[in-house]
Amino acid sequence: MKNHRLVSLVAVVVVFAPVRVLAADIKVIANGSVKEAISATEVKSIFLEESNSLRDGTHVEPVLERDGPVHEAFLREYLGGTDDDLENYYRALVFSGRGSMPKQLGSDAEVVAYVARTKGAIGYVSAETIGEDVKTLTIVRGGNGTQRRLISQVEPEYPDTLKRLNIGGTVRLRLTIGPKGNVEGVEVLGGNPILGDSAVAAVRQWVYSASHSRTIEDVSIPFGPDR
């Protein structure tokens, strides 16, 4: 009988145990006036009210969820603290006159609606939340020890005509890499346009290590006699 009660108690604990949301299960969203890629450092600075603008001068406004697993996951991933830590931080800002409490909303739907209609607004929601009138931001993490490891690489083809004419050089690319490691987007930053097309076709097949969120990596691909 005692064992039966123990099993029942364990079952109740399991049922009511809090669900821990992972960083990969959330996304940072913004109003259409905000650029599509910002750094993790900028995200932290915005939500700690250390800055109210991005590097390009765009005015921004942080929007918080009041509580819940998504809120907790965002704090862990981008601010490195808990809800109590953040509340104490904001109280100190208000008390000192250096800031004010950001907008706090009760659900993903409310965050999406507010961000969609408020110029410069930035918030966070669960990854499954649909928000057609907002942007999902790419979070840049390059240069802070989180560089993605290249797992699978395809070499670009050197066009025969350019190779015979000894026309080469270096193509510079900016890659947007998805959480699962696939290359979602490629931007040519410089180099011969024909070589650029070849380089883009190759890197779209590259595979990187998995991460909590999208990242951006800059790569340079040389074309020369030895290729």
* Same domain? 63 vs 131: yes
Q: Residue 45 domain-assigned?
A: yes
Find the CATH number of the domain harbouring 120. Answer: 3.40.190.10
Q: Residue 133 domain-assigned?
A: yes
Q: What's the confidence (pLDDT) of residue 15?
A: 41
* Same domain? 30 vs 127: yes
* Same domain? 121 vs 214: no
* Same domain? 194 vs 99: no
List the end-to-end C-alpha distance of the chain, in Å, as a whole number.
76
Q: What's the confidence (pLDDT) of residue 20?
A: 58
pTM: 0.60
The percent helix, strand, coil of the chain (3-state, each to 5) is: 35, 25, 40
Side-chain-side CA neighbours of residue 24 (13 Å):
7
3-state secondary structure of 122: strand
Kindly tell me the sign of the dihedral angle through the C-alpha atoms of 86, 91, 96, 99.
positive
* Same domain? 26 vs 123: yes
* Same domain? 199 vs 163: yes
* Same domain? 53 vs 159: no
> Which domain range does residue 136 map to?
18-140
Find the CATH number of the domain harbouring 165. Answer: 3.30.2420.10
Q: Digits of tens for pLDDT over the chain (227 positions)?
A: 444 454 443 344 334 445 555 555 788 999 999 987 777 788 899 999 998 888 778 899 999 999 999 999 999 988 988 999 999 999 998 988 888 899 999 999 999 999 999 999 999 998 888 878 898 887 766 544 456 788 898 989 999 988 888 888 888 888 989 889 999 999 998 888 999 999 999 999 999 988 877 888 888 888 865 55
* Same domain? 47 vs 81: yes
Q: Residue 12 domain-assigned?
A: no
